Structure 1
Amino acid sequence: MSGRDAREHKDRRSHGRDGHRDGHGQDGRDGIMGEPVIAVHEVTAELGARPVLRGIDLTVRRGEVVALLGANGSGKSTAVRTVIGQVPVSSGRIELFGTPLRRFRSWSRVGYVPQRTTAAGGVPATVAEVVSSGRLSRTRFGLFRRADRLAVHRALELVGMADRAKDSVDALSGGQHQRVLIARALAAEPELLIMDEPMAGVDLASQEILARTLREQVATGATVLLVLHELGPLEPLIDRAVVLRDGCVVHDGPPPQAVGQHALPGHDHVHPHDSSGAGPIRTGLLS
């Protein structure tokens, strides 16, 4: 699918019966995107004694593709880790599929791809074994049936790693590791896919495969929350961008047209060649 085709596909998903798109990725109240899948209300969180999130609100509706943008240290990764319960919140509330996080148990509905790491975590394992671990939440007593094996094979095919199923993950490149982590998340056939910097440090060939994989998930109706530094090849799929700065939401709406940290809404910077000694220059949509 070309960039233009992907844009047209996204527009078809994001327009309601009257063809209107409201800028928040919703298509009125009757279309594809409906009830909130993720609802974050006034959430604060700390790492150690340092405040990282400062009362953020974030809603991701069914069928939506939302990019969480911001500079390093803005709180993006902490935000998604609070959503899946890895970081406790100091105040506020989080709901997944309408259920308070503290009572949520249907984790097979959620696929999570962490920031790139060694796929097996240092434990000797094959590609198939790592991906199969993502299917365990769908099995009964850890016993794999034919449907489970097919789901694992399908996930490997989606990321172009089926031919490496029996290989050790230690033999993979960085981009291939990332593809295995994504296949592991897809093996459970999740309704919600949360990905933390899926394109970071990944070669161009793997970026294109990951973008194609995500397009296929979006086409099936998956809801997606992505942590990104730049939109890159995923830009045609993004319905909405939420920009964090110092743990606060500074923009929630259409994705910025330009890419890169300096294009992010609310970004402050001082050019080192500026001899005037002037204060920070604010750039972006919220200037």
Structure 2
Amino acid sequence: MNDEPDLTEPVISLRGVTAELGARPVLRGIDLTVRRGEVVALLGANGSGKSTAIRTIVGQVPPTGGEIDILGTPRRRFKQWARVGYVPQRTTAAGGVPATVAEVVSSGRLSRARFGLLRKADRTAVHHALDLVGMADHAKDSVDALSGGQHQRVLIARALASEPEVLIMDEPMAGVDLASQEVLADTLRKQVAAGASVLLVLHELGPLEPLIDRAVVLRDGCVLHDGPPPKAVGQHALPGHDHVHPHTPADAEPLRMGLLS
């Protein structure tokens, strides 16, 4: 990672991207740019297209139109996935397969491992990733025994194990207790300080608010806002608030979290 990142260099670029789920249009021509060293929050109500946008970037949903570049390369030709850390929406970390915390996190290092064999440098990176999220003492524990917040820490450690330049995270704070939110915010703060670029889907900014450079708000698959993060008001400002309520039109200006519904 660069000590002095070039903020003009895009690491993720979507231009006129459209996508469908089934036969239903979900993304309707969105433009989205994340520049090197930037932290961009993707906001919007349920069904606005946030997660679909993330999944088109990582290749889980094929776009029906538009262009996607990752680290300067068209996504269809991009192969250097070790440079990108992806944290999906929280699921069981091992996907139902019996595994220890260390084994799950080690799987995130395989993209850099030679012939699938972990060397000393790989094991060091895995331990460092576990240490970053406060899970080093649980390395030998079964992931089946973890709490929801611990599961999320493991998924983030798995993404960090490859020492990525870009982090893409889909609702990393959803359903996570406040203590784990603080740990995850501190972890992300360290990655940003080291030069990482971050795109993350959020329902609310929460402890991550000080880190967010820009917010892109989606509504019905279109970009409604791209600029300074909206200010939380009313119930949205309360700790533990993790979903979006409808608001009256009077809340529309200045931009607030009410625009997300």
Which residue of structure 2 aligns with residue 51 of structure 1? 25
* Offset at residue 204 of structure 1 (A): 0.8
Question: SS at 1:79's partner residue?
Answer: helix
Q: Which amino acid aligns with 2:208?
A: L
Using structure 2 for the length normalisation, give the TM-score: 0.90
The match for 2:216 is 242
1:207 equivalent among 176, 181, 194: 181
Corresponding residue to 1:230 among 204, 223, 230: 204
Q: Is 1:134 aligned with 2:117? A: no
Provide the rounded CA distance (Å) in 1 between the counterparts of 2:202 and 2:245: 19
* Partner of residue 111, structure 1: 85
The Cα shift of 1:283 comes to: 1.9
With over 3 angstroms needed to count, the CA separation of the structure-2 counterparts of 1:31 and 1:141, relative to structure 1, is closer
The answer (yes or no) to whether the contact 1:262–1:283 under 8 Å persists in 2 is no
Superposed CA deviations along residues 50-84 of structure 1, whole A, max 9, x for unmatched, are: 00000000000000000000011100000010011
Deviations 1:206-241 (CA, angstroms, capped at 9, x unpaired): 001000000000000000001000000000000000
Q: Distance in 2 between matches of 1:106 and 1:223?
A: 16
User: What's the offset of the Cα at 1:140?
Assistant: 1.1
Q: Which of the residues 121, 124, 140 maps onto 1:147?
A: 121
Unaligned runs of 5+ in 2: 238-243
Do the aligned partners of residues 188 and 75 (structure 1) sit closer, same or farther apart at CA in structure 2, a change above 3 Å counting?
same
- Between structure 1 and structure 2, the one with the greater Rg is 1
2:73 equivalent to 1:92: no
RMSD of aligned residue pairs (Cα, Å): 2.1
Distance 1:248 1:162, change over 3 A: same
Please report how far the alpha carbon of residue 281 of structure 1 lies from its aligned counterpart in structure 2 after TM superposition. 5.9
The CA distance in 2 between the partners of 1:268 and 1:198, in whole Å, is 20
How much does 1:33 deviate? 1.2
Unaligned 5+ segments in structure 1 are 1-12, 14-29, 272-279
1:268–1:281: 8 Å Cα contact kept in structure 2?
A: no
- Percent identity over paired residues: 79
Paired residues of 1:155 and 1:187 also in contact (CA < 8 A): yes
**1:174 equivalent in structure 2:** 148
Task: Work out which of the residue numbers 157, 166, 170 in structure 2 matches 1:183.
Answer: 157
Q: 1:221 aligns with which of 191, 195, 200?
A: 195
Q: Which residue of 2 aligns with 1:42?
A: 16
> Contact 1:52–1:75 at 8 Å: present in 2 too?
yes
Match of 1:159 among 133, 137, 161: 133
Residue in 2 that maps onto 1:283: 252
AA aligned opposite 1:225:
L
Could you list the per-position Cα deviations for residues 116-165 of structure 1 after superposition, in whole angstroms to 9, with x for gaps in the alignment?
A: 11000000000000000000000111011100000000000000000000
Distance in 1 (CA, whole Å) between partners of 2:41 and 2:178 is 20
Q: Distance in 2 between matches of 1:160 and 1:69?
A: 27
Bigger relative CO (Cα 8 Å, ≥ 6 apart): 2
Q: 1:77 aligned to 51, 56, 61, which one?
A: 51
Q: Secondary structure at the match of 1:120?
A: coil
Number of the residue aligned with 1:21: none
AA matched with 2:223? V
CA-to-aligned-CA distance 1:183-218 (integer Å, 9 cap, x gap): 000000000000100000001110010000000000
Q: Distance in 2 between matches of 1:118 and 1:132?
A: 16
Query: What is the rounded CA distance, in whole Å, between the counterparts of 2:154 and 2:5 in structure 1?
Result: 33
Amino acid at match of 1:173: S
Aligned partner of 2:167 among 193, 197, 214? 193
d(CA) in 1 for partners of 2:5, 2:123: 34
For these two proteins, the number of residue pairs brought into alignment is 248
Separation of aligned partners in 2, 1:53 and 1:108: 27
1:213 is matched by which residue type in structure 2? T
Shift of 1:259: 5.3
